Structure 1
Amino acid sequence: METIRTERDGHVVTITLNRPDRLNSFTRDMHGELQAAFGSLGDARVVILTGEGRGFCAGQDLNDRNVAPGEAVDLGETVEQCWNPLIRLLATIEQPVIAKVNGVAAGAGANIALACDIIFAARSAKFIQSFSALGLIPDSGGSWHLPRLVGQQRALGLALTGQPLMAEDAERWGLIWKAVDDEQLDGEVEKVAKKLASLPPLGLAAIKKMIRTSWSRTLDEELDLQRDEMRRLGFTEDYREGVAAFLEKREPSFSGR
């Protein structure tokens, strides 16, 4: 692959957006390579998504469209064929996806990060909803995730003004999980990824699915689903192993069965 790099450490796969000269902004080819990377995870239990160089991702590479100034272009086609499938993939893939935001995350690049399950950011990183300057709306899930994460007022402020939000403020607002010192980012993400990879994967997949889909259910429906999932997971080998390891005071070894 030319624009994506993948590395594996046990059950943890790191996918790196690798166009540092363009702040890892996306081309159509890059979308294809990223989809292929996610389709080749094998027995990975955790995915880390990050960017090469000084930025996480600057969104769409406007040069990729090869459109002359003033010429009309169907942006909906790009969204439907490239960005929407990526956001749906991040939301539905069974593995927890950790965004390691190492630098600026702008436009669709910011919203890719918000679509991940847990977001770590370097303190120097910033999130920018840069759409309004081009007369556009926060796509790639932005208009859905923003108000749910930070509330309507802050979502509107970020989207309308395009004002950069620094990582520490993003953590304080609940937009991300944690802001850490730049030099500690790799270590913090690696520690959490290895922790998740050591836990029962069926349980993690169920947690992710239930929390992400809970918006569509009533409390009664959620309680019923909790009953059904506890019943299903209680019959797994991993649950039996977890209980046995606890009682025997040893480290568990989960198989995903």
Structure 2
Amino acid sequence: MSGVTVRIDDKGVAHVEMCRAEAGNAIGLAMATGLLDAARTCAQADGVRAVLLTGRGRSFCVGGDLREFAELPGDRLAAHLGRVTDALHGALRVFAGLDAPLVAAVQGAAAGAGLGLAAASDLTLAASDAVFVAAYTGIGYSPDAGVSWSLPRLVGPKRALDLLLTNRRVTASEAAELGLVSRVVDAGRLTEEAGKTAELLARGATGAFGATRRLVAAGLSTGLDAHLDAEARRLADAAVSDEGREGVAAFLARRGPDPGVSRAT
């Protein structure tokens, strides 16, 4: 059993849930492989327009499955961790390549790889009782799950190093101030608000969302001239797509765009 489930609803939202509540949704090999399979399902299924990532139970994800790792002898641990990170990083690559935006709903603890999943999401809603902690160096590990890439881009390199080296706990409100999460909601309303956000995105222009995701990611490492050229190309592609034509027609007619219109030209 992978510990990950995927359900695609009739609104086009893919609900990806980590289901090892009894272990804080700790990520071992099975869970990492399950996340990769879930990401591939989202990429291959027809009609996925948004992805909602959640963790069952009290915590979103407490990080790596240290009990699993501790059971392995030293001569097998490195290879095992390689398989875990290959699968987990593969999932992050697939999610990043989707046109459908990725929304994370974080409650309880988001530690280690859980922090990485939260940081990798396009929109991250945090319950008011959520706590974020890097945790890696506290056990003598270095980061994975893209944390050393995403965290400096979200909060800046100095603040990222503060979190990565000291492993101090960051509350939901501070995470919002730092730019680690999009917004904080009452703990009792997290599921509702995250679902509404994913459904709102699912009604939007998925092709334009995909182009925007890639432009924002590329803009962090691309020079201005090259980025302006990329924006122009993406805009032209979007304008002649069925989605773009429907969006303009809907605006001029003072109605909402038809979410069923394909992005294909």
Instruction: Give me the TM-score of the superposition, normalised by structure 2.
Output: 0.90
Whole-Å separation in 2 of the counterparts to 1:2 and 1:221: 42
Whole-Å separation in 1 of the counterparts to 2:137 and 2:2: 31
Deviation at 1:129, TM superposition (A): 0.6
Q: Deviations over 1:110-134 (max 9, x none)?
A: 1111111111110101111101111
Is the Cα–Cα contact under 8 Å of residues 39 and 91 in structure 2 kept in the other structure?
no
Distance 1:66 1:133, change over 3 A: closer
Whole-Å separation in 2 of the counterparts to 1:247 and 1:223: 27
Q: Deviations over 1:180-202 (max 9, x none)?
A: 11012122212211111111111
Whole-Å separation in 2 of the counterparts to 1:37 and 1:139: 19
Q: Deviations over 1:177-230 (max 9, x none)?
A: 111110121222122111111111110110011111212311011111111111
Corresponding residue for residue 31 of structure 1: 32
Corresponding residue for residue 53 of structure 1: 57
Instruction: List gaps (5 residues or longer) in structure 1.
Output: none
Residues 1-257 of structure 1 aligned to structure 2 (within 5 Å): 2-9=2-9, 10-41=11-42, 42=45, 43-65=47-69, 67=71, 73-74=77-78, 77-78=82-83, 80-254=85-259, 255-256=261-262, 257=264
Deviation at 1:78, TM superposition (A): 3.8
Instruction: List gaps (5 residues or longer) in structure 2.
Output: none
Instruction: Give me the TM-score of the superposition, normalised by structure 1.
Output: 0.93
User: Match for 2:5: what amino acid?
Assistant: R
Deviation at 1:71, TM superposition (A): 6.9
Of 207-216 and 80-89, more deviation after overlay is shown by: 80-89
State the SS of the aligned residue for 2:64: coil
Whole-Å separation in 2 of the counterparts to 1:183 and 1:209: 33
Deviation at 1:70, TM superposition (A): 7.0
State the SS of the aligned residue for 1:24: coil
Whole-Å separation in 2 of the counterparts to 1:80 and 1:34: 11
Whole-Å separation in 1 of the counterparts to 2:141 and 2:258: 49
Give the RMSD, CA atoms, in angstroms: 1.9
Q: Deviations over 1:160-193 (max 9, x none)?
A: 1111101110001111111111012122212211
State the SS of the aligned residue for 2:60: strand
Is the Cα–Cα contact under 8 Å of residues 79 and 140 in structure 1 kept in the other structure?
no
Q: Identity across aligned pairs (percent)?
A: 34
* Aligned residue pairs, count: 257
Deviation at 1:68, TM superposition (A): 5.4
Q: Deviations over 1:76-128 (max 9, x none)?
A: 62454223222222322221100111221111111111111111110101111
Whole-Å separation in 2 of the counterparts to 1:129 and 1:250: 45
Distance 1:216 1:151, change over 3 A: closer
Whole-Å separation in 2 of the counterparts to 1:79 and 1:30: 9
User: Match for 1:47: what amino acid?
Assistant: V
User: Match for 1:15: what amino acid?
Assistant: V
